[in-house]
Amino acid sequence: MESLCPWRSAEVHFRRHVHHNPQQQQQHGVACLRVQSGHAPGRSRLGKQGSESDSHLDVAPPGAQPAPGRTGEPLSPGLGSPTPHGAESPTADGCWHGVSRIGEYLLVGNVIPGHTCRALHTLSGEELVCKVYDVRNYRDLMEAHYRLAPHRNINPVADILLGDQWAYLLYEASREDLHAYVRSCRHLPEDEAARLFGQVLVAVAHCHAAGVVLRDLKLRKFVFRDTFRTELKLESLEDAFVLSDDGGIKDGGGDDSLSDKHGCPAYVSPEILSTGTGGTYSGRAADMWSLGVMLYTMLVGRYPFQDAEPAALFHKIRRGQFTLPEGLSSRARCLVRSLLRRDPAERLSAQQALEHPWFQEANVGTLVRTSGQREQDIVDQLVPDINSDIMGQAFYG
């Protein structure tokens, strides 16, 4: 049994275990199949940090022929559709509503392809998050996980269940996202912002060093691991782009040119807006601009560039002019400006940003708390509700 580091392999073959459930077979004509795990029931913990050598999983090189399973069945199992569990039948769009069951999990809420729902393990009672994808392209969505080594600040995939039509990816459950937290706090004191933003940078640096560009970076992509809101993790890698290994991409080098325009309007970099058809831009540098927008918003309580009209918003971003309140420390202002530079070549890398003196400055949080801002000024700086604001919508050029 190989030590588990599955995300570095181009092909991961899962052994299946057939659970004979006459009721499910009668309703769907298939047996319920799932990933076999040596951990707690229903879990393979593929993304956990450290060695997970007891999971039943084979790592095969690209192009290798699948070997038979332990009981002789082929790999690449099929899994039936969710079984209604006191819920309605699937609607015309292929969705299930209410409570349904897949393998050893109860799926709570609307099970909609491309969206998330709650998942409860029927034996352990553990709560997870389930995302449903077309089984034909789920491996493309998982490519960034294949490239990256496990990391504490990146949400691991806990289990994968494959069906004839859908793939069910289960992630560890998380708490409030960073956008909601900043909105509830109005803005963060510098000491807290430094602690949280440092974790964001560590996750991004880990991805960039492995040749993974995250593209759609924003506050909402980072969620809290704990109820005390002290530990952050990147919720998902589904929008990431994996660079080619050619040209020394590993360890943060090589060509990271991208041509697609993918992201969120409030966080999109000026070079993406200015790149014409067929033009390219640096993927890592564009990520760093988005991080600059995140840091500004955490410290100030509003986006550096705002407008209800997309055209006006993009004009402000292209100009790259923004203001910083006087209450911020000089080192915080320096870091924000070093990330929000119009010229991508002048921006700090993720690793350089981690070495910035702001993270070593002591008691910086008191500077914001005693900045003397009027209450009305602070209210005006609230982060907009992304459910009703153009700033939180997806951007595709």
Q: Please choose, from the candidates 259, 240, 263, 243, the residue with its C-alpha nearest in 3D space to the C-alpha of residue 251.
A: 243
Q: Partners of 395 in the beta sheet?
A: 263
Q: Please choose, from the candidates 317, 197, 312, 222, the residue with its C-alpha nearest in 3D space to the C-alpha of residue 266.
A: 317
Q: Which residues of 147-161 are buried (b: 16+ CB within 10 A; e: fewer)?
A: bbebbebbbbbbbbb
Strand ordering across the sheet containing 127-134: 83-84, 99-102, 105-108, 116-121, 127-134, 166-172, 157-162
What is d(CA 105, CA 288) in angstroms, rounded to the nearest whole number?
38
Out of 177, 216, 256, 287, pick the active-site residue.
216
Q: What does DSSP say about strands 127-134 and 116-121: parallel, antiparallel, or unpaired? A: antiparallel
Q: What does DSSP say about strands 32-35 and 16-19: parallel, antiparallel, or unpaired? A: antiparallel
216 is catalytic: yes
Active site residues: 216
